[in-house]
A and B are shown apart, each in its own frame.
Chain A
Amino acid sequence: MEHAIHVLATLLLLVGLHGMLTRRHLMRKLMAMNLLQVAVIVFFIALAAKSGAQPPITAVGDAAPRAHDYVNPLPHALMLTAIVVGVATNGVALALLIRIHRRYGTLDEPDVILGMRE
């Protein structure tokens, strides 16, 4: 039980990886990639958790916060950055998808590959 979150996050990562390998539609591959990224984020956020601690925002009137009372803020800050990186990647990927569809009339990978051969 103590590792349940990390085990499930690993499972999510594998679902994403499997999806990227087996889905044939390029947009589904992109979604699978997002699953994989979220799995990494879950992994980090679970590292930050502390039993019985509160969110990392100083409680009103707490002049001397103690480390045990608050969740570790560092992974949160890191994962905010990771989420942002994810959006940017999605934006670029979607732009490429529009162009690919424009040229080949499909986003189905085998069809696109067929189109490339012509």
Chain B
Amino acid sequence: MSKLKVVHYINQFFANIGGEEKADYPAEIRVGEVVGPGLALTQAFGDEAEIVATIVCGDSYFNENLDKAKADILAMGKEHQPDVFVAGPAFNAGRYGVACGTIADAVQEELGIPSVTAMYKENPGADMFKQKVYIVPTKNSAAGMRAAVKVLAPLALKLAKGEAIGSSAEDGYMPNGVRVNFFEQERGSKRAVKMLLKKLAGKEFETEYAMPDFDRVAPNPAVKDITKAKVALVTSGGIVPKGNPDHIESSSASRYGEYDITGVNDLTAETYETAHGGFDPVYCNEDSDRVLPVDVLRDLEKEGKIGSLHHLFYSTTGNGTAVASSKAFAAEFSKKLLADGVDAVILTST
């Protein structure tokens, strides 16, 4: 029986090329070579799989030449048609982790080849990609290589064989928001009593279902002089030009709109409406200024109370829209706002 084929991605450091000073090393493929952590993986794969090629890429190179690096690596991957693509482990190396997540996700999405990576849970790549590709949690340094490979290799084999992947607790990947059933060793009541005893003793315990959590960011400094500031409007209240030209969904929005209000002094029933399905739209459709205060901001602009009102506003519907989507929307239009020299944003929600 022929062995399953694996293509392995690592950075310049793990390829023994060098540290930070070599981080601009461009992507290259070493066919038939097993490099660095690939040795440990090969050992763990035993007779079942082999690494047919190793792709090496500098972390800075990858992140600074994202599109090219991605395209090059995808081309390399495609050529070898592996049964599974393994990236890392990246441990606590931030840019390496992001690279591993990015490329594993791309290989999976664009080549349809199952992918897996591994990194420390606080690596920024973990939060960014754990819902897209299987990520095995590791210790925060390469000292955890052996433990990481122990989980990574069997998971990679399962993926390569196209076997059903069990729950995160069984197959060892980071919880990815998809709930999967499995049979525990002990019944629920016993697990509950044990968990309570740990909690009472102040020991660490692991909940079987984590409550949804939210991010915190440090506050930005105050705007020095608002009378000189360019102020932009953003809303989750779904304000759109009448007719909803971008077809923003009334709930669980998959997109946001960018609308030009140059020369618009007042939002009227004839010109604007809400796409939001999360509340009675009557009041808003009568007068969208009730959600997006363009009229008042135009007055303040004229009176010199603000520098100017940015000519574009951004809008989506907050109703049932996934946190991940909202984040992605905001990440995208925040860049545009910065590029347009916006100093302050008023976000309105219903």
Do these two chains really belong together in a complex?
Answer: no
Chain B residues in contact with chain A, CB under 8 A?
Answer: none
